[in-house]
Amino acid sequence: MSGRRRTAVLGLLSGALLLPAVPAAAAPASGSGSLPGIAQTVSDSQQGCVKASSAQVGRTPWPQTLLAPQSAWNLSEGGGVTVAVLGSGVNDSSGVLAGRLSLGPRENGSGDSGRDCVGYGTFVAGLIAAQPSAGPGLAGIAPQARILAIGVTDDTGATSAGALAQGIRAAVDGGARVVDVTVTVPGPSGALASAVGYAVKKGALVVAPFGADGQTQAGTVYPAGYPQVLSVADLASGGSPPQNGALGGRVDLVAPGDAVMSVGPGGSGDFTATGPGLATAFVAGTAALVLGRYPSLTLAQLVRRLEATAYHPGTALPDPHLGYGTVDPVAAVTEVVPGLGGAPVPKPVPARAAGPVLLPAPTADPAADQAAEVAGAALLAVLLVALAATVLPRGRRRGWRPGRGPEWR
């Protein structure tokens, strides 16, 4: 089933803007246990670096089941595309990047870019490019993409506009066609704006979170505040619109960001985290899939494809809170977009594992009730997809047609 058809079925059944309605309550998959959390920033570096996780859940994370990137892997796994991860560093002790990690310069903090005290950069890199395991478990959106790690934070996750600017330039000079800036600064900067312009001139896509993880005060953050940057917000519990929609700023796309599971530094254990910084990973990974299939796309064409193939909300585009909608990896690779070509929908790749969808139970952040809601929504999504063969003909008889998005700014 193509990404467009899959998301269309979800929309037809739910009648909602984005994804199915959330059940009142649902428990996480039995036996999942409690996973240690990773945050974008920590309050005190004296607490020491994040410790390796001893938890290995061995089930499929809910965003992976929802987005189903494996259905596009017959056409592209992101091979030949480098994605730069600008954050706390990337440590591949887990081995999920399988020799596809390169270390760029460290622009802030101590050590090289393979040192990840906070753990956030490693977590994001896993979401983008983790190699699938033989059984159930984490798989990155683009499992053959290369990761270029550039450290732009200190041991608390703090950064500066200057460090981000230097990191973006280093990423582009290092051959990255996609630059995932996982952290934010609260205001604009001449140096940062210039670096974004440099990336655009070189044809590199810069992806950044719409807000800082845990942000509560209204205000635009950067680099997402610049119009040349793809600004990404996180889907709240059950795929509902982002709860931080009142923060201000522009949203271009949304992607899962609540109670997400991935790897961390120091070993092969699992962690959980929440926030828009994680949502950027799903968009960056999708961009790598697209470039792996269509390497000659210009930057404007790449953005147009991502936005035109997203699952659009039923509102005027771009929606102030949802932008062009939820990123859709399968549709982004397979959909025929006017002027940009397309590919036949590939034969779906069977799911790597049957059984319940995993939602790891968060510790202090995100809250346990959020985890319960997301688990219920993920299980519901699986049931909805199973009903696709029945529901889709009904939708067609009712005149459903996929929407199209306007060209990029």
Q: Judge whether residue 23 has pLDDT over 50.
A: no
> What pLDDT is stored for residue 219 in this prediction?
86
Q: Which residue has the higher pLDDT, 285 or 11?
A: 285
Does residue 368 have a pLDDT over 50?
Answer: no
Predicted pLDDT of residue 218: 83
Percent of the chain past pLDDT 70, that is, above it, reads 71
Cα 281-285-290 angle, rounded to 5 deg: 150
Mean pLDDT over residues 220-225, rounded?
Answer: 96
pLDDT at position 374 is 39
Distances (CA, A) of 112 to 42, 163, 408: 20, 14, 36
Per-residue model confidence (pLDDT) at position 45: 60
pTM: 0.80
Confidence (pLDDT) at 359? 37
What are the residues whose beta carbons fall under 8 Å from the beta carbon of 80, sequence distance 6 or more? 144, 291, 292, 295
């683009």: which residue's tokens?
A: 142
* Lowest-confidence pick of 79-93, 324-338, 361-375: 361-375
With the C-alpha atoms ordered 318, 319, 321, 325, is the resulting torsion angle positive or negative?
A: negative
* Spatial CA neighbour of 63 closest among 119, 12, 105, 123: 123
The gap between the terminal CA atoms of the chain, to the nearest Å, is: 31
Which residues in 68-90 are b (16+ Cβ under 10 Å) and which e?
bbbbbbbbbbbbebbbbbbbbbb
Q: Which residue has the tokens 């271009």?
A: 252
Q: Is 123 left (phi over 0), alpha (psi -120 to 50) or beta?
A: alpha
Band (12; pLDDT cuts 50, 70, 90): very low
Check residue 245 and give its pLDDT.
Answer: 52
Spell 127-145 as b/e; 16+ CB within 10 A means b.
bbbbbbeeebbbbbbbbbb
Count CB neighbours of 186 within 10 A. 13
CA 371 – CA 259 distance, rounded (Å): 6
Q: Which of 188, 193, 226, 192 is nearest to 210 (CA)?
A: 226
On the question of pLDDT at 277 being above 70, the answer is yes
* Residue 21, pLDDT above cutoff 70: no
Mean pLDDT, to the nearest integer, of 11-21? 34
Q: Which of 59-63, 332-336, 386-390 has maximum average pLDDT?
A: 332-336
- Please state at what angle helix 190-201 crosses helix 161-173, rounded to 10 degrees: 20
How large is the C-alpha radius of gyration of the chain? 19
* pLDDT at residue 206 in the model: 98
DSSP 314-378: SSSSSBTTTBT-B--HHHHHH--BTTTB--PPPPPPPPS--SPPB--B-SSSS-HHHHHHHHHHH
DSSP string covering 137-186? S---SSTT-EEEEEE-S-TTS---HHHHHHHHHHHHHTT-SEEEE---BS
- pLDDT tens for 99-147 read 999 999 999 999 999 999 999 999 999 999 999 987 788 999 999 999 9
- For residue 372, pLDDT over 80 is answered with no
Q: What is the pLDDT of residue 338?
A: 82
**Residue 153: how many other CB atoms lie within 10 Å:** 29
CB neighbourhood size of 220 (10 A): 18
d(CA 407, CA 390): 34
Q: Is 8 left (phi over 0), alpha (psi -120 to 50) or beta?
A: alpha
pLDDT of residue 409: 56
Share of the chain above pLDDT 90, in %: 60
- What mean pLDDT do residues 225-246 have? 78
Name every residue whose Cβ is closer than 8 Å to that of residue 99 and which is 6 or more positions away in sequence. Answer: none
The predicted pLDDT at position 199 comes to 98
Higher pLDDT, 373 or 72: 72
Total number of residues shown for the chain: 409
CATH architecture observed for domain 3-397: 3-Layer(aba) Sandwich (3.40)
155-187 per-position pLDDT tens digit: 999 999 999 999 999 999 999 999 999 999 999
Strands (E), 264-321: 270-273
| Per-residue pLDDT at 314 | 87
* Cβ(293)–Cβ(343) below 8 Å: yes
Mean pLDDT of 338-352: 51
